[in-house]
Chain A
Amino acid sequence: MKVTEKAEAAVQEKTVDWDKYLAAYYEKPKSSLTWSGLEVKEVYTPADLPPEKYRDMGDPGQYPYTRGIHRNMFRGRYWTRREVIGMGSPKDTHDRSKLLVDEGGSGLNTIADIPYEMGLDADHPWAQNEVGLTGVCITNMYDMETLTADIPLDKVSWSLITASTASVVTMAQYAAVAKKRGYDLKKLRGTVQNDPVHFRYCGFRPACPLDLSVKLGADVMEYCTKEMPLWYYTTVNLYDLREQGVTAPQEVAFGFLIARLYIDELIRRGYKVDDFAQRFAFYVSCHIDIFEEVSKIRAARRIWAKLMKEHYGAQKASSQQFRFAVHTAGCSLVPQQPLNNIVRIAYQALAAVLGGVQSLHCTSYDEPVCLPTENGHTQALRTQQILAYETGVTNVADPLGGSYYIENLTNQLEEEIYKVMAEVEKVGGMYEAIRTEWLDRVFENEALARQKEIDERDKILVGVNMFVTEQETETPLGVQRISKESVRQQIEMVKKLKKERNSTVWKEKILALKAAAERRENVIPYMIEATEVGATTGEMMGAVRLAFGYPYDPIEIIEAPF
């Protein structure tokens, strides 16, 4: 073939629509709204940020902490690189946790599966097909011992993601194991998610009655304040609220109002806000609009500081500081062209770090497909490490502070958050908004609106409504499957434990727990004692539920064994 012929042959191989190319060349964005629909100007100038306004911002480390809670921020310490792990049996989860520590993870982070969050034992008839599918099931003290085996509890900071009313059980199981292994509870560091109120919106409603959610959430906070003072006893979960489809201002407003339910309960129990608030923490989403997310975090810090100081009279700086972990937004990820998710997650992680995050979980690229594979998990950790060690973002605190745009957007977010809070006040406050299902309707409407934005291309999602390709036939780094055998063994062990334990002592401790719950005492000390004699998650939750007039089993198919 001659050279000229070769060129002609290449020309014919692929046809390109040049009109489409020309349109792309001249194309400009269809929308200039933020992800949450806020209008922003074409450009911001000094006129948008008069110097006297700076007083309301403060330097990093100064009230109202708009610019961060530490003056030296990441120069003092990197954020905690903490990947969420929960899969199969306690042993499977333990092994994956150690793998990620070995790869450079700097915090442990264990997530409960659906039965555990519901407060069901692994051998519950409805749980058996679910054990280990979305997290790990801890039914008894021995499961917790396996999960934590040979990990030095006094050296690590362990985040336990049990968000539901079963957080009390998780704390009791962790404390029981730590005591057995000779650790001083007062020196242990970690976090328990413990935000049962919000969890009704994640598909766990029967397990999270509203009164019990506030009571048991506050029990964990009270117990840790007294016995485990270094433990962050809640990370009020704004993230899960955002995942319902709400906007950035709604995320913060609803989350803060839920947080206030717990604070008000602790105050009702006779505590002063400075007695406990220094270990209050939050779990925040970072979605794809970088500047809006950074501004949301900055606005949240300012609002929280003012709320704690002005409304609750907090004097200590640590009671006024908004501390938070970030989970990059799972709902922003799609299974189409799944490797693109790595890029989305990196932008979201960048927003978290520019916002001054304390602890970060980067979602793995296969989040909308399955639980993370080993490779997916490690890759997510690498995204954090590239950000931390290569990009230079750790050099300066609040690097976007003083930007005409960011400061204005922060103010705008702050106003919007207050507006949403005022709407909730109008319906009678948060407890009423939840009880009357006003909040359910908000979530349903917002979720529908988000889908329509994608359907109608008001928002672009690459691979979904633009730049679409044929559906993939395989997931690039494979699919995580749960070992049926290890789950089966776990279920067998639970059944065996129930037969082998000393039933007299067990019954005595379970009934003591139920009686304490009936007297409205803090249930955790009783749960620790019950755990030590072989009581299980379902039995302890059931005892408390009965004491509050709810069926023993949230699914209402099994009877109390006592």
Chain B
Amino acid sequence: MNKIKENKDRKIKVLVSKVGLDGHDRGAKVICSLLKEAGMEVIYLGMYQMPKDVIDAAIDEDVDVIGPSFLSGEHLVYTPIIVEEMKKAGLDDVLLVVGGVIPVEDISTLKKMGVDEVFTAGSLTAPIIQYIKENIRR
């Protein structure tokens, strides 16, 4: 009972990261600022991170949401690895929300892989915040 109350008072904690060699991070940085303004605690891991780096940081920081950002098409390569690493680390209660330049055709593919939600380029901020608030599992 106490634990639930404590969790409700705690800020939602989000980890945003670029993954792989692609460094296009304008969108990732913008979403970090906007989530902070919405009252969340945001850690931006930066560019040139591999899935393992992302998962390690997620564990260290005890985050509620992992948000990898893609542009170059690497989402199909790295997302399954992230999902696998999350499973191995027992992060079942962490939300995985992918963002970036992603063809709509790939959204269902990513969800089948285990992604909770996908927000493509051109997304408004409010639905992203609403989704996170309504769906966090911790």
Contact = CB atoms under 8 A, between A and B. Distances in A.
A130 B73 CA distance: 8
Given A451-B30, A479-B103, A130 B74 contact: yes
A202 interface: yes
B22 A114 contact: yes
Contact of A475 (B18, B29, B77, B105): B105
A133 B122 contact: no
A479 B18 CA distance: 23
B30 to A, nearest CB: 5
Q: Which of B33, B34, B74, B105 has the most CB of A within 10 A?
A: B105
A455 B26 contact: no
Nearest to A245: B26
Contacts of A455: 34, 124-126
Contacts of A206: 48
A368 B123 CA distance: 12
Contact of B125 (A134, A202, A451): A451
A114 B72 contact: yes
Given A203-B25, A368-B101, A370-B103, A464 B48 contact: no
A471 B104 contact: yes
A134 B22 contact: yes
B24 interface: yes
Contacts of A243: 26
Contacts of A444: 29, 33
30 contacts: A114-B21, A115-B21, A118-B21, A126-B48, A127-B21, A130-B22, A130-B72, A130-B74, A133-B22, A202-B23, A203-B23, A203-B25, A243-B26, A334-B121, A335-B101, A335-B103, A335-B121, A368-B121, A369-B104, A371-B73, A447-B30, A448-B33, A451-B34, A451-B125, A471-B104, A473-B104, A473-B105, A474-B105, A475-B105, A479-B105
Given A203-B18, A368-B120, 16 more contacts: A118-B21, A120-B21, A129-B20, A130-B74, A204-B23, A369-B104, A370-B73, A371-B73, A444-B29, A451-B30, A454-B124, A455-B34, A464-B122, A471-B104, A472-B104, A475-B105
Interface string B104-135: 11100000000000001110111000000000
Listed from nearest, the 9 A-B pairs whose CB atoms lie closest are: A203-B23, A334-B122, A133-B72, A133-B73, A479-B103, A130-B21, A129-B77, A134-B72, A203-B24
Interface in A440-495: 443-444, 447-448, 451-452, 454-455, 461, 463-465, 471-475, 479, 482
A133 B105 CA distance: 17
A335 B103 CA distance: 8
A304 B126 CA distance: 42
B23 A369 contact: no
Interface of A is mostly: loop
Interface of A: 114-115, 118, 120, 126-127, 129-130, 133-134, 202-206, 243-245, 334-336, 368-371, 443-444, 447-448, 451-452, 454-455, 461, 463-465, 471-475, 479, 482, 555
Contacts of B23: 114, 202-205
B91 interface: no
Interface string B29-47: 1100110000000000001
A28 to B, nearest CB: 24
A243 B72 CA distance: 16
Interface of B is mostly: loop
B21 A369 contact: no
Interface string B8-26: 0000000000101111111
A335 B26 contact: no
Contacts of B72: 114, 130, 133-134
B121 A447 contact: no
Contacts, number: 102
B68 to A, nearest CB: 14
A448 B34 contact: yes
Nearest to A338: B104
Nearest to A205: B23
A465 B127 CA distance: 12
A444 to B, nearest CB: 6
Contacts of A555: 21, 48
B77 A465 contact: no
Contacts of A203: 18, 22-25, 47
A461 B101 CA distance: 17
B103 A475 contact: yes
B67 to A, nearest CB: 15
Nearest to B23: A203
B30 A129 contact: no
Contacts of A479: 103, 105-106
B77 to A, nearest CB: 5
Nearest to A130: B21
A248 B22 CA distance: 26
A474 B34 CA distance: 29
Interface string B49-78: 000000000000000000000011110011
A22 B118 CA distance: 36
A256 B122 CA distance: 30
A447 B73 contact: no
Contact of B78 (A129, A368, A371): A129
Contact of B122 (A126, A202, A335, A371): A335
A120 B18 CA distance: 19
A369 B74 contact: no
Q: Which of B18, B73, B106 has the most CB of A within 10 A?
A: B73
